[in-house]
Structure 1
Amino acid sequence: MLRSMYAGISGLKNFQTKLDVIGNNISNVNTYGFKKGRTVFKDLYSQTVSGASGPTPGGTGANPANIGRGGVNPKQVGLGSQLATIDTLMSPGSTQFTGNTLDLAIEGDGFFAVKAGDTIQYTRAGNFYLDEKGALVDGDGRFVMVSDFSATPPTNPTTVTNLRKIEIPLTATSLSIGQNGVVSYVNNGNLVEAGVVQIAKFNNPAGLEKVGGNLYVDSTNSGDPVYRAPQSGGNGSIKSGSLEMSNVDLSEEFTEMIVAQRGFQANTRIITTSDEILQELVNLKR
Structure 2
Amino acid sequence: MLRSMYSGISGMKNFQTKLDVIGNNIANVSTSGFKKGRVTFQEMMSQTTASGQAATATRGGKNASQVGLGSQQGTIDNIHTQGFRQTTNNPLDLSIQGDGYFAVEANGETFYTRAGNFYLDDQGYVVNADGMYLQTVDGERIEIPDNVQSFNILTDGTVEYIDAEGERQNAGQIAVAIFSNPSGLVKDGNNLYRESGSSGPATLVAPESDQSTSAIISNSLEMSNVDLAEEFTEMITAQRGFQANTRIITTSDEILQEMVNLKR
Check whether TM > 0.5.
yes
Shift of 1:52: 1.0
Query: For each residue in 1:133-176, what CA deviation from the matched residue of structure 2 results, as whole angstroms up to 9, or x when unmatched?
Result: 000000000000014xxxxxxxxxxxxxx411111111112111
For structure 2, the 5+ residue unaligned runs are: none
Corresponding residue for residue 81 of structure 1: 71
Q: Does 1:182 align with 2:158?
A: yes
Matches within 5 A, 1:55-204: 55-57=55-57, 68-147=58-137, 162-187=138-163, 188-204=165-181
Q: Find 1:212's aligned residue among 189, 194, 198.
A: 189
Q: Distance in 2 between matches of 1:166 and 1:268?
A: 57
Q: Where does structure 1 differ by over 4 angstroms across 4 or more consecutive aligned residues?
A: none
Q: Distance in 2 between matches of 1:213 and 1:173?
A: 33
> Who is 2:38 aligned against?
38
User: 2 CA distance for matches of 1:75 and 1:213?
Assistant: 50
Structure 2 residue 5 is matched with structure 1 residue 5: yes
Equivalent residue of 1:184, what SS? strand
CA distance in structure 1 between the partners assigned to 2:213 and 2:221 by the alignment: 17
Secondary structure (helix, strand or coil) at the match of 1:163 reads coil
Alignment partner of 1:222 is 2:199: yes
Q: Deviations over 1:18-65 (max 9, x none)?
A: 0000000000000000000001001100000011111112xxxxxxxx
In structure 1, C-alpha distance between the alignment counterparts of 2:247 and 2:203, rounded to whole Å: 51
Letter of the 2:249 counterpart: I
Amino acid at match of 1:87: D
Cα displacement string for residues 194-213 of structure 1 (whole angstroms, at most 9, x for unaligned residues) = 10000001010000000110
SS at match of 2:171: strand
Give the Å deviation of 1:235.
4.0
What CA distance in whole angstroms lies between the structure 1 residues aligned with 2:240 and 2:112? Answer: 37
Question: Does residue 247 of structure 1 match 2:237?
Answer: no
Instruction: Give yes or no for the alignment of 1:25 onto 2:25.
Output: yes
Q: Give SS of 1:210's match.
A: strand
Paired AA for residue 127 in structure 1: N
CA contact (8 A) 1:201 1:235 kept: no
TM-score after normalising by structure 2: 0.98
Contact 1:102 1:241 (C-alpha < 8 Å) held by counterparts: yes
d(CA) in 1 for partners of 2:246, 2:157: 54
Q: Provide the secondary structure at the position in 2 that maps to 1:91.
A: coil
- CA displacement at 1:215 relative to structure 2: 0.4
Aligned length: 262
Counterpart residue identity of residue 115, structure 1: E
Question: How much has 1:118 moved relative to structure 2?
Answer: 1.0
CA separation in 2, counterparts of 1:192 and 1:119? Answer: 29
Q: Is the 8 A contact 2:206 2:212 kept in 1?
A: no
User: CA contact under 8 A between 2:205 and 2:212: conserved in structure 1?
Assistant: no
Q: Which runs of 5+ in 1 are unaligned?
A: 58-67, 148-161
Deviations 1:212-267 (A, max 9, x none): 10000001100111110111213410000000010000000000000000000000
Amino acid at match of 1:223: G
Q: Deviations over 1:85-112 (max 9, x none)?
A: 0110001000000000000000000000
Contact 1:11-1:82 at 8 Å conserved across structures? yes
Letter in 1 for 2:251: T
State percent identity of aligned pairs.
59
SS at match of 1:146: coil
Q: Is the 8 A contact 1:228 1:235 kept in 2?
A: no
Contact kept, 8 Å, 1:14 with 1:82, in 2: the verdict is yes
* Secondary structure of the structure 1 residue equivalent to 2:224: coil
* Larger radius of gyration between Structure 1 and Structure 2: 1
